[in-house]
Structure 1
Amino acid sequence: MKVKSAVARSVIVTLTLASGSTLAGDVTKQQVVEQYAEIAHAVFSDALTTAQTLDNAIESFLNAPSEKTLGDVKQAWVDSRVPYQQSEVFRFGNAIVDDWEGQLNAWPLDEGLIDYVASDYQYELGNEGAIANIVANEALTIGANQLDVSTITPKLIADLNEVGGSEANVASGYHAIEFLLWGQDLNGTNAGAGERPYTDFVVGEECTNNHCERRGDYLRAVADLLVQDLEWMEKQWSADQTGNYREELLNGSADNGLRKMLFGMGSLSLGELAGERMKVALEANSTEDEHDCFSDNTHNSHYYNEQGIYNVYTGSYQKVDGSKIEGPSLHDLVAKKDQKAADEIQKQFDATRDQVGLLVTSAEKENQHFDQLIAAGNTQGNALVNATILSLVAQTASIERAASVIGITSLNPDTADHEF
């Protein structure tokens, strides 16, 4: 089954930011931080809504497993990644998001913790949980841990994250769901994603690969946990709640809020997206270090990470219902101080978003997905990924320049220990 591109299904905002606009002249730092909180709430609300749609699609699929219903739920998963990936810019600088994020988006994972894997499965050395196979077993022994996993619940799945002390033991989140829907991608750097049969969820004689009822129980519980987690985070950014993180952020100094914004943008651009999500995979020619590795949706995840950075800089967000949020922005603050710098910084943001978009074009128009681009010997593909890394590095320099113009010094975005 070919999964339709999330980019193709989404309307992308293209903003024309007028030089010397009245808005830029009047905007205050506090207004920009308030707009940041507004965008965060809108993004997490969309992530929640699309996760609820995914949860409902999973229920429909498990009630009547078929090729069609499996295709429907895969599409719901792809759609759910669109807002969530735009939320990651709020991780860095906001500890409440970063501390919470691992339960939803941790990767790479040793998928043998969850379900059956190929006989030549490569996993983290020394990780006893890597072949535990929760679906096939009602009791597990991992190191000194004796675990009763007979009843699979959202709480059990949450408790199993990093079991045995290994970060590769990821039991929950988008990638656990992705693995259960697609199965392993056994194509290496050749074309193709995972090909799990829908019959892995058919209860009765047509069940393939055994334990179909427990596999369905796991899928249902992990989707429920995802929704619960997103419900909590949506409330943290809601203007209708009191005593939440949004209130704390807006009651702090505007300069501290701006630092969080700029640090988040720079750290996602440099250490995380350019480094962990692209450089690591490219240098090792490793599909195991690919982000959405089971579904081959990595190009979209990278694109929407970049879109999230762009959203924060421009004070804008395109909601999944097609409506648009626009307001006071970092760009306006920079233009207020130095119009020439604002124009040059905006130009770099536009160029980088276009460059990351070439990964989507490669996947959707040329059938060269990220796992093929990073293959050893794919000179053209390697060059495309490397050019994208370099553009993200240049964008980070523009983020630091923007910070300097508006008086936020010593930004030091996280490099994740990568050298560029």
Structure 2
Amino acid sequence: MKFNFTKLPLLLLTSILAISCSNNNEDEIPTEQISKADFIENYATIASTNYSDTYNTAVAMQTKINAFIAAPTETTLAEARTSWLYARDFYGQTEAYREANGPIDNEDLLATEGQINAWPLDEGYIDYVFNSTGGTVQNGLIGDTTVELTAANLIAKNEDGGADNIATGWHAIEFLLWGQDLNYDPINHTTDNYAVSGDRPYTDYTTADFADRRATYLQVVTDLLINDLNDLNTTWAVGGTYRTTFEALEEDVALTNILNGIGFISNGEIALERLDPAIDEGQENEHSCFSDNTNQDMWANVHGLNNIIIGSYTTESGAIISGVSLIELVNQSNITIGSTLNTKASETISKLNTLLGLGKTFDEIISEETLGSNGPAGQLSSALKAQGTAISDAASTLGVNITIN
């Protein structure tokens, strides 16, 4: 299990304290007037800081990957993997800014989400995969020497001919670092060893077939990811192109965008796309299956939403960005709706903590439940759906309408 224990207690404490502060206001309307503009400004500050952290930690990952490519060893491979896991904590929180008419997925702006974080990924589209007899099959882009491995070509190949033909982004890098996760126990020859992630050997980059092309591929997609994250960081920074556009939006337009984002990601994305299909269909729909990092993905995605709901974000340096929360803003208009939102957000964090506290990988958790069986993954999904509904109700109270499916 690979979630970050050193960071987790601080961020959970931050969430608990912020929610507790909101609870103190449940019986009375806040006397200090706050505005939609205050909430919108805090959202922009959190988004900008989160994207900055994402870019900086990804650059640190790039450095480790470059070191691995230059000198492939077990040690440099392990360091590259660790840096990927760490940077994912920050990117995962930025999912809260999707579906908000912003640069990550607005076709008139950058719209690079598909080449940054698309999934599920067909491993065989990129590199060799194992067959049923333990051998390998190489029909991927790495083995196809007619394909020049350039950024432009891999962008063109991304999702070309099928939604799971993913050629770029976090999960392409993940697969190139870890390889397939087959849940295979070589001692007992069974396929239910859930504690084992992918175990690509470093020799795939030294003596294996297509080692040089594999290294080139890893280099190209890592550099491409850094460029895409830099664009997001720059455009969201104070004075950046999108930050300027965002700050000029009418308040209700900006508020609609923000709440549509967190409402949809809570209900339509994490619950309905990342949890329910994985419970129903198994590991092939697990978000970070190669590294077995999906539990931590859940942590980052849920906390990304919670950052906006409670108005607080803990930076990579440990500093806390804090301002007007959605709960406070809604409480000012309707204390009952605000209290419900507070409760649903708290319940979502609680269900997340239950899932993380099991001490099992995500693929093991989903192997022990079915859709509708009310297992821990299903309970988290239900909590996220209820949270999405509470966000929609909050939006209506504030005079705007959103879509959470």
The alignment's TM-score, normalised by the length of structure 1, stands at: 0.85
Is structure 2 residue 37 aligned with structure 1 residue 30?
yes
User: What amino acid does structure 2 have at the position aligned with 1:279?
Assistant: D
Alignment of 1:298-337 (within 5 A): 298-337=294-333
User: What amino acid does structure 2 have at the position aligned with 1:331?
Assistant: I
In the alignment, the residues of structure 2 paired with residue 24 and residue 324 of structure 1 have an alpha-carbon distance, to the nearest angstrom, of 25
Equivalent residue for 1:162?
Answer: 159
Q: Alpha-carbon deviation of 1:386?
A: 1.3
Is structure 2 residue 336 aligned with structure 1 residue 383?
no
Equivalent residue for 1:401?
Answer: 393
Alignment of 1:114-153 (within 5 A): 114-120=126-132, 132-139=139-146, 148-149=147-148, 152-153=149-150
Is structure 2 residue 369 aligned with structure 1 residue 412?
no
Is structure 2 residue 281 aligned with structure 1 residue 274?
no
In the alignment, the residues of structure 1 paired with residue 300 and residue 175 of structure 2 have an alpha-carbon distance, to the nearest angstrom, of 21
User: What amino acid does structure 1 have at the position aligned with 2:403?
Assistant: N
User: What amino acid does structure 2 have at the position aligned with 1:219?
Assistant: L
Q: In 1, are the aligned partners of 2:30 and 2:331 still within 8 Å (CA)?
A: no
In the alignment, the residues of structure 1 paired with residue 229 and residue 31 of structure 2 have an alpha-carbon distance, to the nearest angstrom, of 34
In the alignment, the residues of structure 1 paired with residue 269 and residue 369 of structure 2 have an alpha-carbon distance, to the nearest angstrom, of 25
Equivalent residue for 2:95?
Answer: 88
Equivalent residue for 2:121?
Answer: 109
1:249-276 CA-partner distances (Å, limit 9, x unpaired): 2211111111111111111111111111
Q: In 2, are the aligned partners of 1:270 and 1:396 still within 8 Å (CA)?
A: yes
In the alignment, the residues of structure 2 paired with residue 300 and residue 389 of structure 1 have an alpha-carbon distance, to the nearest angstrom, of 15
In the alignment, the residues of structure 2 paired with residue 8 and residue 183 of structure 1 have an alpha-carbon distance, to the nearest angstrom, of 27
User: What amino acid does structure 2 have at the position aligned with 1:108?
Assistant: P
Picking from 384, 387, 399, the partner of 1:392 is: 384
Picking from 253, 260, 263, the partner of 2:260 is: 263
Equivalent residue for 1:226?
Answer: 225
For structure 1, the 5+ residue unaligned runs are: 122-129, 140-147, 416-420
User: Structure 1 residues 23 and 230 mapped into 2: Cα distance closer, same or farther (>3 Å)?
Assistant: farther
Picking from 21, 24, 39, the partner of 1:17 is: 21
Q: Sequence identity of aligned pairs in percent?
A: 34
Is structure 2 residue 193 aligned with structure 1 residue 190?
yes
User: What amino acid does structure 2 have at the position aligned with 1:314?
Assistant: I
1:137-180 CA-partner distances (Å, limit 9, x unpaired): 211xxxxxxxx42xx232322222122x2121111000000000
In the alignment, the residues of structure 2 paired with residue 193 and residue 291 of structure 1 have an alpha-carbon distance, to the nearest angstrom, of 13
In the alignment, the residues of structure 2 paired with residue 357 and residue 304 of structure 1 have an alpha-carbon distance, to the nearest angstrom, of 12
User: What amino acid does structure 2 have at the position aligned with 1:260?
Assistant: N
1:84-116 CA-partner distances (Å, limit 9, x unpaired): 111011111225212321111000011112111
Q: In 1, are the aligned partners of 2:279 and 2:371 still within 8 Å (CA)?
A: no
Q: In 2, are the aligned partners of 1:51 and 1:80 still within 8 Å (CA)?
A: yes
1:270-296 CA-partner distances (Å, limit 9, x unpaired): 111111101111112x21111001011
Equivalent residue for 1:58?
Answer: 65
User: What amino acid does structure 1 have at the position aligned with 2:253?
Assistant: N
Equivalent residue for 1:124?
Answer: none
1:292-314 CA-partner distances (Å, limit 9, x unpaired): 01011001101111101111112
Equivalent residue for 1:239?
Answer: 238
When the two chains are superposed, the root-mean-square deviation of aligned CA atoms in Å is 2.3
Is 86-95 or 46-55 further displaced after alignment?
86-95
User: Structure 1 residues 378 and 159 mapped into 2: Cα distance closer, same or farther (>3 Å)?
Assistant: closer
Q: In 1, are the aligned partners of 2:371 and 2:378 still within 8 Å (CA)?
A: no
Q: In 2, are the aligned partners of 1:113 and 1:131 still within 8 Å (CA)?
A: no
Q: Alpha-carbon deviation of 1:229?
A: 0.3
User: Structure 1 residues 380 and 195 mapped into 2: Cα distance closer, same or farther (>3 Å)?
Assistant: farther
Question: Matched residue of 2:367: which SS?
Answer: coil
Q: In 1, are the aligned partners of 2:344 and 2:390 still within 8 Å (CA)?
A: yes
Q: Alpha-carbon deviation of 1:323?
A: 0.9
Question: Matched residue of 1:317: which SS?
Answer: strand
Picking from 34, 41, 52, the partner of 2:48 is: 41
Is structure 2 residue 339 aligned with structure 1 residue 343?
yes
User: Structure 1 residues 63 and 402 mapped into 2: Cα distance closer, same or farther (>3 Å)?
Assistant: same
User: Structure 1 residues 348 and 233 mapped into 2: Cα distance closer, same or farther (>3 Å)?
Assistant: same
Q: In 1, are the aligned partners of 2:125 and 2:139 still within 8 Å (CA)?
A: yes
In the alignment, the residues of structure 1 paired with residue 363 and residue 374 of structure 2 have an alpha-carbon distance, to the nearest angstrom, of 10
Picking from 194, 200, 204, the partner of 2:204 is: 200
Question: Matched residue of 2:321: which SS?
Answer: strand
In the alignment, the residues of structure 2 paired with residue 80 and residue 211 of structure 1 have an alpha-carbon distance, to the nearest angstrom, of 28
In the alignment, the residues of structure 2 paired with residue 118 and residue 135 of structure 1 have an alpha-carbon distance, to the nearest angstrom, of 15
Picking from 5, 11, 32, the partner of 2:3 is: 5
Question: Matched residue of 1:226: which SS?
Answer: helix
Q: In 2, are the aligned partners of 1:375 and 1:382 still within 8 Å (CA)?
A: no
Equivalent residue for 1:145?
Answer: none
Question: Matched residue of 2:81: which SS?
Answer: helix
Q: In 1, are the aligned partners of 2:178 and 2:197 still within 8 Å (CA)?
A: yes
Question: Matched residue of 1:135: which SS?
Answer: coil
Q: In 2, are the aligned partners of 1:274 and 1:393 still within 8 Å (CA)?
A: yes
The alignment's TM-score, normalised by the length of structure 2, stands at: 0.88
In the alignment, the residues of structure 1 paired with residue 126 and residue 226 of structure 2 have an alpha-carbon distance, to the nearest angstrom, of 19
In the alignment, the residues of structure 2 paired with residue 377 and residue 23 of structure 1 have an alpha-carbon distance, to the nearest angstrom, of 43
